[in-house]
Amino acid sequence: MDTATAATNAALAPAHDILESQLTVPMRDGHQSIAKIRRPSTPSPKGSPLIILAFGGGWVSGSAEQMAIEARALVRVFSAVVVNISYRLAPEHKFPQSWEDTWDNLVWLILHAREIGADPARGIIMGGTSAGANLTAVCARRAQIEPLAHPLTGQWLNVPTLLAEKHIPEKWKHLYLSMQQNADAAIFPASALDILQELTGWDMASPWRLPLNSTHSLAGLPKTYIQVDGMDCLRDDGLLYDEMLKAAGVESRCDLYAGCPHAHAAFVPGKAAERALVDVVKNFGWMLGQVVEEGVAEKALDLV
């Protein structure tokens, strides 16, 4: 079991206000992917938005048990149906398997949203951490070319890997510094990307790997909430993607957690982690057109 999943499991007791179960989602090759689904024990008469979460772990580790804390909070605050998906991992399953599985999950869940208790008219948001954020961004871009049964209304990108230097407009190239500045940062040094490329066999020119390898305009992407850690070699991926989205007319917000290492909310308990979790809930509210008070988010996250 990976560290992030173990930490999540240790923090959670059964939630009597939430229905939790497993869901089987068919992939294109017949593989049955197991997801974790959470729903309010008392459904809202107004209907439930659909939220789809993709775990992190460099496409080589992790599970649908991650981000349970966030998932439960989102059920409580928005009466949402939240699905934590699975996808097959490298090195057993090379690129682009993780990406294809994530897309297949997204397509199937949106197509069957009403069957699992969600109402697409209430909103559809996809999100994830690290590798899961990359998978989310790639799927949002793919949906511009292959429209989903119901469109995404938001995407949450937490400490994402999104860019290669070739994607950065000339006016911003001098700002792409984090790969050098944080090359030896804790948790995720820049050298980890070389190791992961060897394990996954990804193609850096493929639109499956990086969202900006798609030649489609960024305009028209859904509302986007990005979280960036200051002591992360991927810091500037998130910061510059936020700038590119805004320049394309996309509604985008970005929070920077100065001095924090990659995915600190999962690995480094404390006030900074709590701040990031509260920001997640509040900004899901923004993407869903709701205002969420600080205390409401804290209570839903069991922080008070």
pLDDT at position 43 is 87
Listed in sequence order, the DSSP H helices in the chain are 3-11, 68-78, 97-111, 131-145, 178-181, 191-200, 235-247, 264-267, 271-287, 294-300
Mean pLDDT value across residues 188-197 = 97
Helix and strand element counts for the chain (H, E): 10, 8
Per-residue pLDDT for 245 more than 80? Answer: yes
Confidence of residue 16 (pLDDT cuts 50, 70, 90): confident
Using CA atoms, how far residue 295 sits from 41, 137, 255, 301, in Å, is 22, 30, 19, 10
Place 5 in a pLDDT band, splitting at 50, 70 and 90.
low
Decide if pLDDT at 198 tops 90: yes
Compute the average pLDDT of residues 10-16.
Answer: 63
- What confidence tier does 9 reach under pLDDT thresholds 50, 70, 90? low
3-state secondary structure of 19: strand
pLDDT per residue over 38-87, tens digit each? 999 998 999 999 999 999 999 999 999 999 999 999 999 999 999 999 99
The pLDDT score that the predictor gives to residue 4 is 53
Q: What pLDDT, in 10s, does the model give residues 99-134?
A: 999 999 999 999 999 999 999 999 999 999 999 999
Class of domain 3-300: alpha beta
Report whether pLDDT(19) > 80.
yes
The stretch 207-211 carries a mean pLDDT of 97
